[in-house]
């Protein structure tokens, strides 16, 4: 009889241990669930931001290269034009000198305008810089979530001294900053202000 009671006690103790272990697993799962979901969501967001930066940098760079090519082409034409003027002076063709000077002045003016086109295109740097800041913040959040997961999986050894920290740079960015995709275009904004 006493053997049966002993066995019952042993089974009871084992069952309590199993129950306790199951509870711990459930608790760990609960702790892991939220960071895992957030981590899963943040990875594609950060990847998307980085792809956007790459695409928009390339597009803006091409716009600047196209304009720089036009400027250098015009500079070659200016050199040719100046040589022509030199020849016209030698040949005393004063009407042609006049025409050539007008043409060169127009080219200089076009070059000045195109230099401003390049300056405009450089606005991409502010936008991609905000996109990079957004991606950095997402990656920093990812680091914190992974730290939480490691802490739960690996116990206290990961919790001490290894806490990832956010970079010291103060980041102020628009999460929707985009070179091409304006949520509201300037005409619609003008209309909102005209009704003010």
Minimum distance, C-beta of residue 97 to another protein, in the bound complex (Å): 30
Residue from 125, 162, 163, 167 binding another protein (CB under 8 A): 125
Helices 2-91, 124-154: crossing angle, 10 deg rounding: 160
Please tell me whether residue 135 binds another protein under the rule CB under 8 A: no
Contacts of 57 (CB under 8 A, 6+ apart): 124, 128
Per CB under 8 A, which region of 26-34, 80-88, 138-146, 166-174 contacts another protein? 166-174
Is 81 within 8 Å of 93 (Cβ atoms)?
Answer: no
Please tell me whether residue 76 binds another protein under the rule CB under 8 A: no
Minimum distance, C-beta of residue 25 to another protein, in the bound complex (Å): 43
d(Cα 36, Cα 142) in Å, to the nearest integer? 9
Please tell me whether residue 92 binds another protein under the rule CB under 8 A: no
d(Cα 26, Cα 103) in Å, to the nearest integer? 81
Q: Give contact residues for another protein (rule: CB under 8 A).
A: 116, 119-127, 129-130, 170-174, 176-179, 182-186, 188-189, 192-193, 196
């Amino acid at each position: 009889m006493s053997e049966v009671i002993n066995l019952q006690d042993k089974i009871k103790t084992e069952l309590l241990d199993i129950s306790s272990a199951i509870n711990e697993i459930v608790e760990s799962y609960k702790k892991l669930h939220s960071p895992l979901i957030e981590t899963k969501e943040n990875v594609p967001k950060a990847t998307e931001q980085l792809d956007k930066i790459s695409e928009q940098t390339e597009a803006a760079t091409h716009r600047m290269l196209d304009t720089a090519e036009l400027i250098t082409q015009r500079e070659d034409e200016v050199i040719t034009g100046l040589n022509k003027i030199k020849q016209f002076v030698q040949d005393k063709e004063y009407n042609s000198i006049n025409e050539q000077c007008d043409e060169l002045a127009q080219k200089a003016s076009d070059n000045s305008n195109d230099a401003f086109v390049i300056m405009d295109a450089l606005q991409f740097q502010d936008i991609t810089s905000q996109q990079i800041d957004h991606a950095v913040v997402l990656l920093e959040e990812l680091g914190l979530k992974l730290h939480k997961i490691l802490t739960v999986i690996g116990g206290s050894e990961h919790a001490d001294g290894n806490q990832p920290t956010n970079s010291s740079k103060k980041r102020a960015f628009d999460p929707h900053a985009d070179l091409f995709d304006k949520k509201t275009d300037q005409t619609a904004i003008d209309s909102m202000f005209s009704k003010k």
